[in-house]
Structure 1
């Protein structure tokens, strides 16, 4: 196994790192100032972020996650063409700032929605929605989770997608619809049931829903540990007799799970790539704080308990990064399905390790750690939600355990 970073990997990683140093980190205070308003004024386009996006686009640091689609070589919808492994190194750098990924047009849920359209969309669907998403002109939302059912089992989803002539009529309620608060959010990909009588995993379909369609109502924005996550936000959305053209259906009736699996594999690992960056930033904040404070006659950094915590944090980050890179490399070489074990493991391990390090960083900051002053409280809130988003830990651990059981179920019985 070769751990050497190739020239191409280094080229992209270093370019992103340089852009973050020169433009994104200096913009953090400006972003905070722009977002220091209250109420409805927070749901707006943030000027400093738009300026960053223009700079990144001009430098060719744009849509890095989107690889060429071998099945559709005629596409003029092409990202930078990075592999999962190459992108992992870039995404870690982006993850060190909350809005970092968006500066490169690489933030969720747009990344997943663009991948779905790129892989499964018709030419018309791509022209209408993928093109402006890739240009950063609009944003999007993925509408899957529902408040009235255990959505960790997606077969429970109850939202109805019923065919009526040349249209589909949608009725249901979604929540944790991340991104729907952004004023630029124009299109959603909704998962619901087209045939409740079909086989369990063939009942669901996915369909494009323009958010200005009559009957789409954003009921409220859900806070995460008190943070509104504006201007992105996580909405509860009601669909009452929403009529969209039948041509908005993606891939075909009953193929919702197929699309979801194609989307969630890359999406899950993208979160984990960024999470490694979050852990690194938390460790940096912790170490700087420990070195700047004196207690009981010596630097806090010299207290043995903190030496232990810092050492464990570094070890945990390195182990987590290696697992993440292994999963990305396997996705490139053998595909998402063959890498399902590694994807599941990193989805559990990444947020857990990051949370532990953030928690220690909060402790190192004392009372300041739980305020908004150092960004750690918001960091914790965001990463804690990842233990639920894209499938809770329990679902991934179940998959890991079943793969492990299968490994030995057909093996010869061994006696000690």
Structure 2
């Protein structure tokens, strides 16, 4: 459907012995390492999808600037103007969520920033999907053809709602982390962390999640 230049294959290992010198991390800690890297993937991959969405919106606004319907430019129709305003606002908000999550990961706060990472991934891919879908809508029928790249962007970005943790999984993580954070005695009113220090609320360490 999408990412047609990227293939996939099934790999199976049977009775494979790995030399101790090639061990990454500690034995039986592979899941922990995977989760640490997955947080990075969620932020970085989502950033790419937001870039795709921005490109789609650029195409749509350029089209609306020059295309005329019912005697005036598309951009002069109120529903087009309001749609673009909403898409631009949501896209920028998603960028800010993504930037904050990236900053927290850079500070080594991976486990403590699970909420921020999940929020960035959820809103990032859902915002990207809406922006691209509505950008295609602005173009109308021609947007569904290969004359413009939005149809390819739409196919490629659809996968981001499944990979690195699905939309549904992100909502489950956000729900769990929100309940725990808001019920934390240390909670001081900063729903998503202490922005003055640039870090989330510190709380007792917990075992790794099972997502």
Q: TM-score, normalised by structure 2?
A: 0.79
Deviation, 1:348, is 0.2
Q: How much is the aligned-residue C-alpha RMSD, in angstroms? A: 2.1
Deviation, 1:338, is 1.7
Question: Could you tell me which of 150, 173, 176 is aligned with 1:402?
Answer: 176
1:165-195 Cα shifts (integer Å, max 9, x gaps): xxxxxxxxxxxxxxxxxxxxxxxxxxxxxxx
Within 5 A, what are the aligned runs for 1:309-388? 309-333=83-107, 335-388=109-162
Match of 1:229 in 2: 4
SS at 2:12 equivalent:
strand
Which structure shows the higher helix fraction?
Answer: 2
Which structure shows the higher strand fraction?
Answer: 1
Deviation, 1:332, is 2.4
| Runs of 4+ displaced beyond 3 Å | 240-249, 408-411
Within 5 A, what are the aligned runs for 1:3-402? 224=1, 227=2, 229-230=4-5, 232-233=6-7, 235-239=8-12, 241=14, 243=16, 245-247=18-20, 248-333=22-107, 335-402=109-176
1:209-263 Cα shifts (integer Å, max 9, x gaps): xxxxxxxxxxxxxxx2xx4612x22x23142647464355433431121110121
Q: Aligned pair in 2 of structure 1 residues 305, 381: CA closer, same or farther (>3 Å)? A: same
Q: TM-score, normalised by structure 1?
A: 0.42
1:7-29 Cα shifts (integer Å, max 9, x gaps): xxxxxxxxxxxxxxxxxxxxxxx
1:311-335 Cα shifts (integer Å, max 9, x gaps): 0011112211111111122222352
SS at 2:111 equivalent:
coil
Q: Aligned pair in 2 of structure 1 residues 327, 302: CA closer, same or farther (>3 Å)? A: same
The separation in 2 between residues aligned to 1:239 and 1:351, in whole angstroms, is 31
Match of 2:193 in 1: none
Q: Aligned pair in 2 of structure 1 residues 396, 250: CA closer, same or farther (>3 Å)? A: same
Q: Aligned pair in 2 of structure 1 residues 333, 246: CA closer, same or farther (>3 Å)? A: closer
Match of 2:200 in 1: none
The separation in 2 between residues aligned to 1:238 and 1:329, in whole angstroms, is 35
Unaligned segments of structure 1, at least 5 residues: 1-223, 412-416
The separation in 1 between residues aligned to 2:13 and 2:97, in whole angstroms, is 44
Alignment length (residue pairs) = 185
Unaligned segments of structure 2, at least 5 residues: 186-211
SS at 2:10 equivalent:
strand
SS at 1:365 equivalent:
helix
1:369-398 Cα shifts (integer Å, max 9, x gaps): 122221111211221111110011111111
